[in-house]
Amino acid sequence: MTLMILVYLIAGLVLLVAGAEVLVRGAAKLAAQFGIPPLIIGLTVVAFGTSAPETAVSVQAAYNNSGDLAIGNVIGSNIANVLLILGMTALVAPLIVSRQLIRLDVPIMIGASLVVYALAWDGSLSRLDGALLFAGVLSYTAFLIVSSRKDKTAPADDEFAKEFGLDETPKPHATAINFGLLVAGLVLLVAGSNFLVEGAVGLARALGLSELVIGLTVVAIGTSLPELATSIMAAIKGERDIAVGNIVGSNIFNLLCVLGLASLVSPSAIPVAANALAFDFPVMIAVALACLPIFFTGYRINRWEGLLFLAYYLAYTAYLVLSSTGRPFAEVFGDALIGYALPLTAVTLIVIAGRSWHKHRT
């Protein structure tokens, strides 16, 4: 592995994280100046902003005919968002889960995961598939705006206003400054995505790994850094509802917006690898489904549940590395993970959720 590959990877990650931060700050304050309520800004601008690295990388990869990298980035990011980021955040502080997330947003995340899986089942994502997914994110965003205007919750408004400084008195030339931040964030994202895609492709070739595996691991974790920073800081500040909502919202945008745009800009239909359909997509859907019983147990994510998430992420990553390097132990490890560990955990979570539901009923 050459020094230039590491330089490209590090430079790309730094530029992506910085670009996402600058973009969110500038766009949020610019929207606030035009009278948009903080809650709507949080549900739309911030959600788009934290998914901006995934968007930039997957769109760039798809345009360069690196479809495996584009697909792996989205699947890997969604898995990492729940297992790695929520796991680490819950270890910092137990997280509160709102009823709206359980009744609306998590089911939408599960539904979006199933829709993408169904569209990819034929082995590719076409421009028509991309158009359908992008129409989905537009509908979801419109629904959020309409519903949040009908149900104005002051605490949520206060949380977003405090987190992003939306209640501060605008400074002189604030509009020009915030617009400049917005443009600077976009420039950094484009530059960072170019560097990261170039470095990721080089890393895959140097290590003899597929672009799909690099996308599922290195690139996915790198593009999820804004979500990690946002969720952990929100948990530390006591804004624990934002911490969970940020992850669920980001996963929905990744599936509908990121894959939608990537499929639209790709010169041809994005091919979906058979092993991704056989293993990685089902893992992503299982992770989304696991959120319901875990979130439902007392409407919180406890530290032990966060530790369980982290353990599964480490097991999933270990399997990817073992299988990609052709180790004979990989098949046994994968069978044990899918055949025993996942079903046992699923049964345990269903029993816990059932007891919790019965307790709430009585």
Angle between helices 329-336 and 303-324 in degrees, nearest 10: 150
Q: Give the pLDDT mean for 283-310.
A: 82
Following DSSP, what letter does each residue of 9-64 receive, concatenated?
Answer: HHHHHHHHHHHHHHHHHHHHHHHHHTT--HHHHIIIIIHHHHTHHHHHHHHHHHHT
- Structure-model confidence comparison of residues 185 and 129, the more confident one: 129
Indicate the SS3 state at residue 66. coil
Q: Mean of the per-residue pLDDT values for the chain?
A: 78
Total tally of structural domains belonging to the chain: 1
How far is 63 from 102, CA to CA, in rounded Å?
36
User: Mean pLDDT across the stretch 104-131?
Assistant: 93
**Contact yes or no for 277/177 (Cβ under 8 A):** no
The token pair at 281 is 């997509």
pLDDT recorded at residue 330: 63
Judge contact between 85 and 227, C-beta under 8 A. yes
Task: Name the pLDDT band for 264 (thresholds 50, 70, 90).
Answer: very high
The Cα–Cα gap between 32 and 166 comes to 6
Three-state secondary structure call for residue 95: strand
Q: How confident is the model at residue 162 (pLDDT cuts 50, 70, 90)?
A: low
Provide the residue range defining the domain that includes 214. 3-361
pLDDT, one tens digit per residue, over 164-198 is 555 566 666 777 887 788 788 778 877 877 787 77
Q: Does 359 or 308 have the greater pLDDT score?
A: 308
Please state the length of the chain. Answer: 362
Q: How far is CA 167 from the centre of its chain?
A: 27
Distance CA 359, CA 362 (A): 5
Please list the alpha-helical segments (H only) found in 172-272: 174-207, 211-214, 220-223, 225-236, 240-253, 259-265
What pLDDT was estimated at residue 154?
47
Is 177 in a helix, a strand, or coil?
helix
Residue 205, pLDDT score: 74
Q: Which helix (H) or strand (E) holds 271?
A: strand 270-271
DSSP state of 169: P
| pLDDT over 50 (residue 15) | yes
Rounded to an integer, the average pLDDT of 129-151 is 84
Q: What is the pLDDT of residue 260?
A: 94
* pLDDT score at 304: 84
pTM attached to this predicted model: 0.80
More confident residue, 285 or 231: 285
How far is Cα 230 from Cα 163, in angstroms, rounded to an integer?
10
Note the pLDDT of residue 241.
Answer: 63
Q: Predicted confidence band at 353 (pLDDT cuts at 50, 70, 90)?
A: low
Distance of CA 148 to the CA centre of its chain: 22
Return the number of other C-beta atoms located less than 10 Å from residue 245's C-beta: 24
Residue type, 68: D
Best-predicted range by mean pLDDT (35-39, 172-176, 256-260, 288-292): 256-260
CATH of the domain at 39: 1.20.1420.30
Across the strands, what pairs with 271? 124
User: Within its chain, how far is the Cα of 338 from the centroid?
Assistant: 23
